[in-house]
Structure 1
Amino acid sequence: MESSSRAALLQDAIRPTISGNAQVINAGHDVVLHGSSAPPPAGLRDLLRPVSNATHTRAGHVARCDPGTRLKVIAQIKQWLNSLDKRAAICWLSGPAGYGKSAVAQTIAERYAAKGRLLGCFFFLRGAGERSHISRLIPTLAYQISLFVPAVKPLLEKALRDDTDMLGPSVSLAHQFQKLIIEPIHSTTSKVLVFSHLAKQKIFIIDALDECNDKAETAAFIDVLLNAFPGRSYLPFRILLTSRVEEHIRKKLDHSEAHHLDLENFDARSDIQAYFKREFACIFDQNCQMMQRIPKPWPSAKDLTELLDKAGSSFAFAMTLIQFVGGDSMPHKALQQLLESGADSLDPLYKKVLSSASRTAALHHILGTIMILEDNQSISFISSLLNLQYEEVIHELLGVQSIIKIPSHDNQPIMLYHTSLQDFLTIKSRSDQYFIDPPLQHLHLAIHCLKHLAKYTSNDFFEGDVANYASFNWPHHILLGFQRQQCYVDETTMSSLETLIENLLTFQGNTWYNTILTVEVYKKLRMLSCVRDGKDLFQVSYCNFQMVHHTLNMYKTLQGSIITKNLTRLFEQVIDVYEVRVYN
């Protein structure tokens, strides 16, 4: 009876459907449907929340190897992947920023995705939200596996519903990797031919591991990977990692069985040459009317050689150079400008790079420090001296990586691709808004040195490379800061110097003196081993301390309008203490 009533009410409807607990009520001319239905269960995508813009199919500009380039690197990765050696289940591709690690990873990902051998990939990017958090890596890889092998999907859904805290912060990466990667793959190995030992090895690609925000978690994840393979008879996949050689990564992988490929060991000159030839040909074709009188080949063999010398092994520099030339309305003149023999030939390129970089105070201080230090220093050294987070220094330098070589190792120095960058930045007529004033930068570094020493608790000696540098060089930076007679120093800087020096001598004077005396003894012992003339320890020590006394005495010249009487008094106090130490 109820069914016939419903049918009568809806007799004029087109293909009506009534399901569940829906109730049909006749309210005059209106028919009202009342009902309730439970929300559909969350799908796997909702459960895992994969980072869609971290895969090889992400939108926007994506770096990849140009045709005919990086062939040797790609061939070695292919050889590793197809190897029968079970111990080399992980391949680590390392290299400095700008050398094309991500381009290689993208190219490998696209090629093996087309061959049906890519299980999953993740391209980290510092400061890009979830792409910089390692907590999103395993869920994203797990979701990609479910797309590659649908039989994995119900296994993942069950694992997540059985343990609702699986993706929470209290669950270890090792447990997640076991439940969301290893066990689902093992459960489907016997059922799916694609995972059998007869099929070709599959691959996971994890790019830019050094761009994860949490170093401790990154190191823990590497342990997870290394522990996933020993003792297992077979796992049907291999893992390609790429990164700079940061210390927390190097310590884990250096002494492991991971296969290591270093991009610095591959000559990129022929690859960059092929890139130049193709890109310059495109620029010529796009401007054929403008350049119809320019003789071919363009650029000439001689000019191409000079461009290759400028680029070195940096694809980032090569790409910036191409963008500069190709973006000009008269490309041939832009190229000629870069090839001119004058010291300022690269100035337009430097301005282009810096105009696209961040204009933060941090970048200005970082660049200023790199420009005026007598010796090239590492990222760790500079971050500690300037009291910046290591990741912040990396982030700022990545914006100028086409003109500054970011080293692949933590303990390697930051280098300029061309020394002309130092001249450009420290000559106002050339750099204009990007100018770095050396005397003022020296004074800022003196302040950073003194602040670094002030952080130490009372000890017999200052320890560490940065502390030793600060101990010896804060007077040096002050001297260079005041060497220009018309140097204007603001009152805040002067006051900071006075306060910091006063505090050093008052609260840490003995620690500072002991540190200098100890290092001088070490230098003296090295000197003794060289001269071999039998001078006794005390005589050489006396000479060394006399040299220190003479050096410090130079600061008596820093008087008048440039330096306050208080600073003069403080330097004289240093000299007086040394006189007591030396002569007593």
Structure 2
Amino acid sequence: MRANVRDKHDVIDRIQSLLNLLVSSAKEVTAEVEALTPDEGEQVKNDARHSSVLKSRIQAFIQKLDAILDSAKETHNVKWYQRLWFAEQDAEFLKDLGRQIDSAKDDFKLRGAIEIRQYVGEMAEHAREIHRELRRQGERQEQKESQDILEGLNPANASYTSAQFEEKSLLQPGTRSTILRDLAKWSADSESDKRVHVVFGQAGMGKSSIAYAFCRQVRKAILGTSFFFLRGSGECSDVHRVFPTIAFQLAESVPSIRPQIVEAARKHQAGRKQGLLHQFHALILEPLKCLIDSPSPPIIIIVIDGVDECANTPENGVSVMLGLLYQAAHELPFLRILIATRPEAPILDALKSCNHADIIIWRDLQKEPDVDNDIRLFIDSEFEKCKMAGPFVLTEQHSDAVEELTRLSDGLFIYARTIAKYLSENRYLATERYGTLLESQGRFGPGEAYRKLDILYTLILDNAFGNVRRDEKHMSYVQRIFCWLVLFVVDTLTDLEALHATALNILGIPGSVTMDVIDRLRSVLIVDGTITPSTPIRACHASFPQFLMDPSRCTDHAFLVDPPSGHALIAISLFDLLARDDVDSLRDADDDMPPMWSYARSYWSYHLVAARYTPELGRSLWRFVETHLEDWLRSVGPWVNGPQYYVSLTNACARVLGWYKEHGPDDGLVEMLDEILDRLVKKMAAEANQSPAEFDWREFKRIEA
């Protein structure tokens, strides 16, 4: 009887142990689920309810417990429990019952509980992954939406990283080390009250190269944004593109204020052509102010290069832009602004008259003490490269050549760069060229560097084309190539490297002539290695195209580019291309039209309205209007205009109409253009009335026609 009591307690202990195991497993599963987010927990519970594996596992365990219960009931139907506790003959039954309970517990422990916890864990991880993926998708969608909003700011391709500013990266290592060291120290000093650094100097003194090198130097710090103005580029010469571009770049470089910029950009889109003051406050100042209360706000650097290349006059936006930048630097102690410009009086007056002028550091490159050393180092380095390829007779016969050329450069880096390239490109003629150079320029003293640069350009052109000057046909091609070099539009719609021999060959300029011109002008163009049909035509420095356009500087009419006449030559070439009836023959193996076709489609009207009327130009325009103008306006086939809208096309056509009214003869073309425009505007009005909710009425109101 006592043995049965002991067996009874043993069975109770085993039952309690089984119960503890079940409770423990339940707690573990509950904890696993509770660790999830509410959404993830609901996902697991829903998966558990519909899990056949989990149900079968639990049902198998319940069936085992039912079997133990049935076994206990089978002993005797009458007072079986009395015999269970008191009859000696039932001792073996108690032991067997305990073994069954242990077996059930062990089976659950080794298989069931593990599988259930494992399965619940897998469901939990699955739920986590689902919700992680949903979050990632949400974040990607939000990122895409915010990026689309930022793209709506229409930022200019004006960052220092743009390929169009590659020539500004040619700063010789080791030169301008003093000013770059000073700029690095200034930009890193979080306690400085001097938050604006103005670097100024005449053309060719290396301002842009310094600004470019500084941008690369602070890359690992926070370079908030850079805007490099570029004369002749629609997007990079418009002051109204500066603040939207700065905002766009800040959203990328300073993620903590991206949401504020996106929200401001969302509202900015609705207004589009907004004034500088509103742009500045909404897109720049207010988002940056969010960093003021940060425990340790990062230093944010803004670099503005080439203010003098802005197409807007100081009275028409430039002075406002500069004043607002000063205001930002005054109000935001963590902001550092580098401005590089030529010392043009209106710009310097605007800079000096701005409020908070006490926060400015002025840096006159003409007064830099080590400029001659930098130029000497640059010329010497270029000559050393030449010596590595073989004997360089110039330095062997004239040991003082580097010193003489440094003196002639008179602090002008572009002069030093041009003369070094000019003398190095042909080692066999270097000595002769050096003698001619000293003879033509030795009479000029200090302060006449730009006169010497003009004479140098003239000398280079004379030497380059002296043997073909009497070939009128060849020189006509040279003149057209110069027109393209000077007047080619660099913008978001154009590929910077699209101007090359292959492109001009489509317009009737033989590729061999273009490549020959590039080869002859290596000293003033960017040329790397062997010249091919795809070698782009790009000037080393803006001073060379400017020289070609200025009759007071370029006195040889064989090379002088008169912009109105040059635009006319280009417009005629583009019309001849656009009016072709076999345009599909221009497609390449991938069925793409050549880049020059895209350029012609986008910029024919720009060149036309800047051109001087000639009968040949009038005939070319007539032919295009009669054949394909309406195809262009409707954007059909190869004339598709991509992201441009009806409005921009209509306005372009309206400007053409206005130009022809003023400059063209009374030959019926004005009436034809007027009729075409009238049909187009009526079509737009009909579409607007048909779907007024989808039509942008602000765009309609901008139609100049």
With normalisation by structure 1, the TM-score equals 0.50
Task: Point out the structure with max Rg over C-alpha.
Answer: 2
With normalisation by structure 2, the TM-score equals 0.42
Q: Which has the higher helix share?
A: 2
Identify which of structures 1 and 2 has the higher relative contact order when contacts are C-alpha pairs closer than 8 Å and 6+ apart.
1
